[in-house]
């Protein structure tokens, strides 16, 4: 005990005083076991908490559900399986969707108002330069379980405004055997994966490799995703150590939104070519835990992560004036080298009445950003920027650095057999620095420090042997990122993700969430949940359009609110049909008045705001978030070997971006839509499994998002060079993000020694 106290002075010293007064109880189930009875309620793996004792509508999904639904990617799976989750495909690549949860966004795109944190084995994997999420770098074949923790939970640190996604990976101790998976189908999709897990005494290992290539259903929309994951563990009765490496190498072409006129003519065409993102990421991390005695656990995590991202965007030149001085198109390139490392330590105590955790974390990052511009004389017939100029100009070069130190405390106190009180808090101190390496005047230089203590208070109360009531209030914060501080001046707007200008101070975002609900089980085995929630953000950081076409800037925006309700029913019909129904109501609104630029909006308020500006009033709906969401699930065990899974998602209409005042009079909304997906699998008497999936079973034409903008091309796809009043005669239109058509996939899986 003395040796532990000497090494971890602060944490272990507290343990040395508290431990003697605690009464021992049986050690809980390990978190890496494929079960949903116990979940982690802190990023650093610890003792864990039973779901019934969490004062929120927490959702847990294991790898078994992945196999049944056969979703094409992680966000698609979350949309089908989790309440209040929707995706919009502004980039229109299957691995680059914006994921929305209760009106908060977890996006791979710079400029989105990020509001969720994502963890893989205790490591926060939001990229440091803009808090974005790279879904293509999460090793899907290695996922054991995912927990969706709702609300402004302070224990999960920065960016946990609306919730946190916690991913646990597989280990050889609990996932033994070999699995080889081959599949293919529509749009040139070819996919394979192989995994192997094993245990020999106290040592275990798990390895997975996967590759996906597809042409995509839209013109020139090829994707290539390669992932590797490896974990080696050592475990005895008191100690568990896991060392893992994750590697991703991806090349994604996302063709973005399409003007309504072109969408009606041909849904699979592309507006301009190319819009490419390439990621090369490697992450190593170590998780360790040690039972000091039957009541006290010391655990920790440390990691190194590096991601090199490059983008290529062929766009219409917003400065084109028809006078011949500016070319029709331009190519914007970015190169971002992001490096991050950190450590987290936690001491946990467990008794009959207390589940106490005290923790510390330190994270730092370095982001090296370069942006270049190159003009192209004209567009080719397929709207590709052609005849590029020889000169490639450097537009910006920035070195961004962040550093965060945090301490936190969590206590789950069983006051009676029925009532548990949950108290937690976390103090975050974040420093954000930026060094301008391009502009002589150093306009991008920044050095800001943000401090915040976030508390949370909740309780759970057992109202019966299999039912409970819960309520919770919590607060979270998010500090501005280097990209946001580098593009915060309305007088020096930028074109994301490809430019930055001066750096006025931005306030950190603070979110407060209150949630209450019931959950339990009826006598006939039907499980139910009913939840209401309300989250209010102060100083939201939004990317607003500027008067210069195609450009914008980050700005703190008063208050926004997300409130709603979730109702879920799950059960068995007979012995073969597992079913579920989930309904969500999500009302996301602006709560402060503001004037913003929206040149294409038909309800311009020139008198009160100025030319090309609209006025937002309190109560206006935030674009991109459908209020009504319905999910249906049916899983039939036709025989002991044959299984059929049907899922359906339904979303009401939502406002398009640029229509923040909700008054645009022509195609100002994304229409409501419904999508059905069918999957089936058959297990042979040997080691083979055959499976198939039909996505968008009814071949529904639908769109998931929209934005108001100018269309630089006519109905035949030709660049418009005619002038009107000295400006190009481009049409104001609504651009939509089209959903994929009906697609077929089949696969063959070979399993030895597993389940």
Of 12-16, 180-184, 658-662, the poorest mean pLDDT is in: 12-16
Tokens 């072409």 belong to: 253
pLDDT per residue over 523-566, tens digit each?
Answer: 778 999 999 999 999 988 776 665 555 566 677 888 999 999 99
d(CA 418, CA 543): 47
Q: How confident is the model at residue 438 (pLDDT cuts 50, 70, 90)?
A: confident
pLDDT value of position 322: 66
Give the helix/strand (H/E) hosting 67.
helix 63-69
DSSP 8-state assignment for residue 545: E
What pLDDT is recorded for position 17? 34
Instruction: Pick 730 or 143 by higher pLDDT.
Output: 143
User: What is the pLDDT at residue 549?
Assistant: 52
SS3 of 483, please? helix
Residue tagged 């007979």 (tokens) = 574
Residue 447 Cα distances to 427, 433, 502, 506, angstroms: 20, 4, 13, 12
Task: Write the CA distances from 84 to 24, 400, 519, 581, 623, integer angstroms.
Answer: 40, 34, 17, 12, 16
- Across 56-70, 383-397, 478-492, the highest mean pLDDT is recorded for 56-70
Q: What is the model's pTM?
A: 0.91
pLDDT of res. 390 = 81
Best-predicted range by mean pLDDT among 314-323, 369-378, 495-504, 524-533? Answer: 524-533
Instruction: Give the sheet arrangement for strand 703-711, strand by strand.
Output: 258-259, 731-738, 703-711
pLDDT at 45: 81
Average pLDDT over residues 426-440: 89
Tokens matching residue 650: 């339904």
- pLDDT band at residue 490, thresholds of 50, 70 and 90? low
- In the block, residue with structure tokens 């399986």: 81
Count Cβ neighbours within 10 Å for each residue of 721-734 and write b for 16 or more, e otherwise.
eeeeeeebebbbbb
CA distance 518 to 566: 11
The residues near 117 (Cβ < 8 Å, ≥ 6 apart) are: 124, 126, 156, 157, 158, 159, 160, 164, 165
CB neighbourhood size of 118 (10 A): 25
Mean pLDDT value across residues 410-418: 94
Q: Quick check: 700 and 734 in contact, CB under 8 A?
A: no
- pLDDT tens digit string along 43-70? 888 777 888 889 999 999 888 888 888 8
pLDDT at 55: 94
**Domain assignments of the chain as residue spans, ordered by start:** 2-276+291-318+355-377+406-462+470-752
Q: How far apart are CA 508 and CA 523, in angstroms?
A: 48
pLDDT at 326 over 80: no
Higher per-residue confidence, 201 vs 553: 201
Q: pLDDT tier at 301 (50, 70, 90 boundaries)?
A: very high
Nearest of 753, 574, 746 to residue 191 by alpha carbon = 746
Query: How do residues 603-631 score in pLDDT, each as one tens digit?
Result: 988 888 888 889 999 999 999 999 999 99
Give residue 188's pLDDT. Answer: 95
Q: CA 490 to CA 104: how far, in whole Å?
A: 25
Inform me whether the pLDDT recorded for 260 exceeds 60: yes
pLDDT averaged over every residue in the chain:
88
Look at 38 and 675; give whichever has higher pLDDT. 675
Mean pLDDT for 413-432 is 95
Distance CA 679, CA 745 (A): 9
Which pLDDT score is estimated for 2?
A: 42
Distance CA 162, CA 102 (A): 7
| Residue 501 scores a pLDDT above 60 | no
Alpha-carbon span 730 to 723, nearest angstrom: 9
Please state, in angstroms and rounded to a whole number, the distance separating the CA atoms of residues 444 and 435: 7
d(CA 511, CA 102): 13
3-class SS of residue 21: helix
Q: What is the pLDDT of residue 234?
A: 96
Rounded distance, CA 490 to CA 563, Å?
31
Q: How many CB atoms lie within 10 A of CB 742?
A: 14
Local structure of 639: helix, strand or coil? coil
Fold of 2-276+291-318+355-377+406-462+470-752: Maltoporin; Chain A (2.40.170)
Place of tokens 């990617």: 73
- 7: confidence class by pLDDT, cuts 50, 70, 90: very low
- Select the highest-mean-pLDDT range: 16-30, 64-78, 238-252: 238-252
pLDDT of 505 reads: 61
269: tokens are: 């065409």
Distances (CA, A) of 50 to 41, 391, 394, 464, 674: 10, 61, 54, 17, 35
For 40, phi and psi rounded to 5 degrees?
Answer: -85, 130
Round to whole Å and give the CA distance between 167 and 96.
18
Question: For a pLDDT cut of 90, what percent of the chain falls above it?
Answer: 62
pLDDT, tens digit, 9 for 90 and up, residues 350-388: 998 999 999 999 999 999 999 898 888 888 888 888 878
* pLDDT tens sequence across 574-612: 889 999 999 999 999 999 998 888 889 999 888 888 888
DSSP symbol at 508: P
From 467-476, 483-492, 694-703, the region with the lowest mean pLDDT: 483-492
Which pLDDT score, from 0 to 100, does residue 289 have? 95
């Amino acid at each position: 005990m003395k040796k532990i106290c000497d090494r971890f002075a602060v944490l272990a010293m507290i343990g040395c005083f508290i431990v003697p007064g605690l009464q021992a109880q049986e050690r809980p189930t390990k978190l890496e076991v494929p079960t949903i009875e116990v979940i982690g309620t802190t990023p650093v793996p610890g003792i864990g908490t039973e779901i019934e004792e969490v004062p929120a509508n927490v959702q847990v999904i294991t790898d078994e559900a992945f196999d049944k639904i056969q979703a094409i990617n992680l966000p698609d799976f979350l949309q089908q399986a989790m309440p209040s989750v929707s995706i919009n495909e502004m980039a229109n690549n299957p691995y680059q969707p914006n994921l929305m949860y209760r009106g908060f966004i977890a996006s791979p795109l710079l400029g989105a108002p990020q509001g969720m944190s994502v963890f893989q084995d205790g490591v926060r994997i939001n990229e440091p330069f803009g808090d974005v999420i790279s879904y293509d770098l999460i090793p899907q074949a290695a996922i054991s379980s995912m927990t969706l923790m709702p609300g402004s939970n302070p224990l999960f640190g920065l960016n946990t405004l609306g919730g946190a996604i916690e991913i646990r990976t597989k280990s050889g101790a609990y996932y033994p055997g070999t699995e080889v998976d081959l599949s293919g189908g529509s749009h040139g999709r070819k996919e394979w994966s192989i995994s192997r897990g094993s245990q020999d005494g106290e040592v275990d290992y798990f390895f997975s490799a996967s590759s996906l290539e597809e042409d995509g259903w839209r013109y020139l929309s090829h994707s290539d995703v390669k992932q590797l994951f490896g974990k080696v563990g050592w475990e005895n009765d008191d100690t568990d150590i896991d060392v893992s490496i994750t590697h991703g190498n991806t090349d994604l072409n996302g063709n973005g939104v399409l003007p309504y006129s072109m969408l009606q003519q041909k849904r699979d065409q592309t507006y301009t070519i190319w819009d490419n993102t390439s990621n090369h990421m490697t992450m190593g991390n170590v998780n360790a835990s040690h039972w000091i005695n039957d009541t006290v656990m010391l655990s920790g995590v440390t990691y190194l992560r590096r991601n090199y991202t490059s983008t290529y965007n062929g766009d219409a030149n917003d400065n084109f004036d028809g006078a011949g001085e500016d070319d029709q198109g331009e190519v914007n390139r970015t190169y971002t080298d992001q490096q991050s490392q950190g450590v987290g330590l936690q001491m946990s105590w467990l008794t009959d009445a207390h589940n106490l955790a005290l923790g510390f974390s330190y994270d730092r990052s370095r982001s090296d950003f370069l942006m270049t511009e190159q003009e192209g004389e004209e567009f080719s017939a397929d709207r590709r920027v052609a005849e590029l100029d020889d000169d490639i100009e450097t537009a910006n070069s920035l070195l961004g650095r962040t550093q965060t130190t945090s301490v936190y405390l969590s206590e789950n106190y069983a006051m009676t057999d029925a009532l548990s009180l949950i108290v937690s808090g976390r103090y975050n101190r974040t420093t954000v620095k930026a060094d301008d390496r391009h502009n002589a005047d150093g306009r991008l230089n920044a050095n800001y420090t943000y401090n915040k203590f976030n508390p949370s208070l909740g309780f759970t109360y057992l109202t019966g042997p299999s039912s409970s009531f819960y309520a919770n209030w919590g607060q979270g914060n998010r500090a501005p990122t280097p990209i946001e501080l580098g593009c915060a001046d309305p007088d020096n707007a930028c074109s994301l993700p490809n430019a930055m200008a001066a750096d006025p101070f931005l306030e950190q975002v603070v979110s407060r969430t209150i949630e209450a609900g019931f959950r339990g089980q009826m006598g006939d085995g039907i499980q139910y949940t009913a939840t209401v929630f309300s989250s209010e953000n102060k100083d939201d950081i939004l990317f607003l359009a500027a008067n210069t076409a195609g450009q914008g800037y980050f700005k703190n925006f008063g208050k926004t609110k997300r409130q709603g309700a979730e109702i879920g029913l799950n059960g068995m019909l007979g012995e073969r049909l597992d079913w579920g129904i989930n309904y969500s109501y999500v009302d996301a609104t602006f709560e402060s008045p503001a004037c913003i630029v929206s040149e294409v909006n038909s309800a311009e308020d020139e008198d009160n705001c100025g030319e090309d500006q609209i006025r937002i009033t309190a109560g206006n709906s935030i674009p991109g978030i459908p209020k009504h969401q319905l999910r249906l699930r049916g899983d039939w065990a036709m025989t002991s070997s044959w299984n059929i899974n049907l899922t359906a998602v339904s979303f009401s209409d939502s406002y398009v971006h640029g229509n923040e005042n909700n008054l645009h009079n022509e195609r100002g909304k994304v229409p409501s839509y419904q999508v059905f997906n069918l999957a089936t699998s058959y297990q042979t008497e040997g080691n083979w499994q055959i499976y198939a999936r039909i996505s968008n079973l009814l071949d529904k034409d639908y769109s998931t998002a929209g934005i108001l903008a100018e269309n630089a091309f006519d109905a035949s796809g030709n660049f418009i060079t005619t002038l009107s009043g000295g400006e190009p005669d481009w049409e104001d239109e609504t651009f939509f993000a089209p959903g994929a058509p009906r697609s077929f996939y089949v696969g063959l899986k070979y399993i030895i020694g597993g389940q």
